[in-house]
A and B are shown apart, each in its own frame.
Chain A
Amino acid sequence: METEKKSSQVNSYLSFKLGDELFAAHVNKVLNILELVKITQVPKAPDYMKGVINLRGNVLPVIDTRVKFGMSPTQFTKNTCILVLSIRIDGESVDLGALVDSVQEVLEVEDANIQPSPSIGSKYKSEFIIGMMKVKELFIMLLDMDRVFSSEELVMLQAHQDLEPES
């Protein structure tokens, strides 16, 4: 609940790129930014599931965000980063890594500057998008990270994560 309060107070967003498009996520959802490290592939995982990495001794599943957004699979460059996100799924906090093409910056945007996303003409599911931010003549799509990764596909991840501590 504190985080809810805080998020209402904090208006900072982390912008990143997928392909040529700019996206942003609320900093409260972002735990950490990692350089690309070796990703261990998990057999029989869905195609957007890139694999797992070792984060300070914990297993962290990594999601290919581009695949999630219906784009071509991520080409690894030196700008490719892993965002460590803490998302809520069904009221539970889950950590996961999201591959992005590059991380841009931390922006402070007033709520007033966030416009609702156009419902028509967007190639992405509008349910993921909170709104559009206009910063320096550029539009940034503000993503609701909980929703992006809350689809049923991720349940197994959750299960997986639940299993982890036991094992």
Chain B
Amino acid sequence: MNFQDLKIGTKLSVGFGALIAIAITLGLLAVFNMSKMRQESTIIDEEFLSELDIASDMLLSIQEVAQQMTAYNISEDPQYRRLGEKGFSDFKNFASQAQALAQRAENLPQLQASLNDILAQAATIESLMADAASQLANINQNRQGMDQSATFYMDNAHSLLNVQNQNMAEELARGGTDASRLEKIILINNIIDIGNEVRVANFKAQATRDVAALKAALGKFEQMNQYFAQLKPLVISAQNIAELEKTQAAAVGYSTAMVAFAANYEALQASNKEFNTAIDQIKNTVAALNQAAISETQAISKSNISLIDSSNAIMLVGLTLAAIFGFFLAYVITRSINQPLQEGVVFATRLAEGDLTAKLDTARKDEIGDLAKAMTRMVDKLRDIITNVKQSAENISSAGSQMSAKSQQVSQGANEQASSTEEVSSSMEQMSSNIQQNTDNAQQTQRIAQKAAQDIKTSSDNVNRTVSSMRTIAEKISIINEIAFQTNILALNAAVEAARAGEHGKGFAVVAAEVRKLAERSQNAAAEIDELSRNSVDIAETSGKLLENVVPDILKTASLVQEIAAASLEQNSGAGQINNAIQQLNQVTQQNAAAAEEMATSSEELSSQAEQLSDVMSFFNLGNEAVRSRAASRKPKARAIAHQPVQHIVFAGNKSKAKSAGIDIDLSEAHDDEYERF
């Protein structure tokens, strides 16, 4: 398996996979180192720096305690003591923080031990601080004792001196004294002086806090005791002896107080020393802790720096390697794709120039090899197709010319059909107009008939009204008749009366006779009118009946005429439809004719296009020999196609129909026959 035979995808995968692996390794290393550094830094931050912080605080607070306690010792002011205690409580607070840190921290093994030490020292300090007050009180008491003793001593000594001086002055005034008196005075003064000396030495020693000086001052009590011993035999008076003994006792008390003071003072100094030692020890321990934390921090920083340095080195080396490897892979892969592609380009260029004889190396097994195989197959297929196309073009050319001739025949037939259809169409139009006239006439007749029916109905109604009027007249006439009858009777009565009156009634008889005649005439006339009106009523009624009988006949006529009109309308629309159909037929025929002519030109166009196709196809170089033989083998088939031109034309026609929807052309032979018959 060569590297060349690998698929392009595989090649790319191998290359990029290697690069990605290097990148991931470097990245993981960096992340690992970083996380380690972060861990160390966290330790620094959380443990060492915290330790440093707490230790500093502890140092500051214990220094504060030392300072305040020293001030207290010197000044004996309880305010400083309180401040010292406050500092000590701060210190304990920090110590408990340190304790917590020691329990929490993992990298501070010496902290717990140091802390234990510190706490022990702190306990010492606490007890010393508690003792300091009592010690100072003792010392004060001693001082007071010393002062009292000193005062007592001096008072007794001075009173003794005063007595001696008085005695001496008396003796001098008496004019004679003795040396013993002077000696006593000198001794007493010595005692006073040495007392003063002791006190001065004592105060000096206290001021300088020098216990040795104090003890040296104690040594002066021997000298004092000698002075007392020298003086004792000299003193005679009892009062003086008592004063002297009191002085000596005071000196003893003073020395005793001094010794106690010295002892206490030494004890205080020892306590102070112990206190200072404890403080110093704590300071040292804390300083050691500080130092340890700083040195640990420095160590971690140094290790971090070295870690970063090594990481940098590894990253640089890895990146360099990756770059080199990447360049190498890119070159190899590009080369493995590019070279065969260029071969393919050359092959395709030859194809574009029409050379179908070109060959391509297809030995490779990658995608480019597949492409080469496919292109080779394509070229083979193209060669076949183009050969077929060339032959088909020739066939189409010959078929096209035959189709052209047939199309012209069809065109002629269609033209004849169109003229015949035109004649039919004009006849139909005339018929249609006649039917239209019939329809109009029928409609008019119908309207007239309906009007007549309406009028007759009106007439009938009028006649009926006339009849009723006549009847009314007859009634009125009968009234007149009656009146006439009554008048007649009245006239007759009058005539009878007149006649019975004889000559006297003559004139009246004449009037009555005239009245009777008038009545008779009225009666006659009324009877005539009655008769006439009766006749008129009869006649009118007959007329009315006749008219009423006529109305349904006329209505029937009207409906019949309406039916005729409707039938005519239908006929008219039928004729219109026929006419439309014929018009459409005509149109279609004309379209057929035009289409047939177009077909003819199209067929010629087809022939020329086929020739052009042949010319175009000659562009391809097929390797002549093979194609010639193949073309020869195809020839007979082409001829067979030429023997069946009709089917070809039908096919072509159908195809054109399918293409140009709208023009309905069907050039089958059956239709051709129809044209012949038509």
Contacts and interface: CB of A to CB of B under 8 A. Distances in A.
A103 B520 CA distance: 12
B475 to A, nearest CB: 15
Given A6-B502, A12-B509, A106 B485 contact: no
Given A35-B489, A81-B489, A106 B502 contact: no
A106 B486 contact: no
Nearest to B490: A33
Dominant SS among interface residues on chain A: strand
A27 B495 CA distance: 9
A44 interface: no
A27 B496 contact: yes
Contacts of A153: none
A28 B500 CA distance: 6
Given A105-B513, A106-B513, A33 B496 contact: yes
A78 B499 contact: no
Nearest to A81: B489
Contacts of A30: 496, 500
A108 B499 CA distance: 8
B512 interface: yes
Interface residues of A, number: 19
Interface in B469-498: 482, 485-486, 488-489, 492-493, 495-496, 498
A119 B496 CA distance: 30
Contacts of B512: 106
A35 B492 contact: no
A27 B500 contact: yes
A79 B486 CA distance: 10
Contacts of B495: 12, 14, 105-106
A78 B482 CA distance: 9
A34 B493 CA distance: 9
A28 B499 CA distance: 8
B500 A103 contact: no
Given A105-B516, A106-B512, A12 B485 contact: no
A32 interface: yes
Interface in A71-113: 78-79, 81, 103, 105-106, 108
B195 to A, nearest CB: 206
A106 B489 contact: no
Nearest to B498: A106
Interface string B500-524: 1011000001001100100000000
Contacts of B502: 6, 9-10
Nearest to A105: B516
Interface string A18-34: 00000000011010111
A97 B171 CA distance: 238
Contacts of A12: 495-496, 499-500, 509
A79 B485 CA distance: 8
Contacts of A108: 499, 509
B486 A105 contact: no
5 contacts: A14-B495, A35-B486, A78-B482, A105-B495, A105-B516
Contacts of A27: 496, 499-500
Interface in A20-54: 27-28, 30, 32-35
Given A78-B485, A106-B512, A106-B513, A10 B493 contact: no
A14 B492 contact: yes
A76 to B, nearest CB: 14
Counting chain A CB atoms within 10 Å of each CB, the highest count among B502, B512, B513, B516 belongs to B502
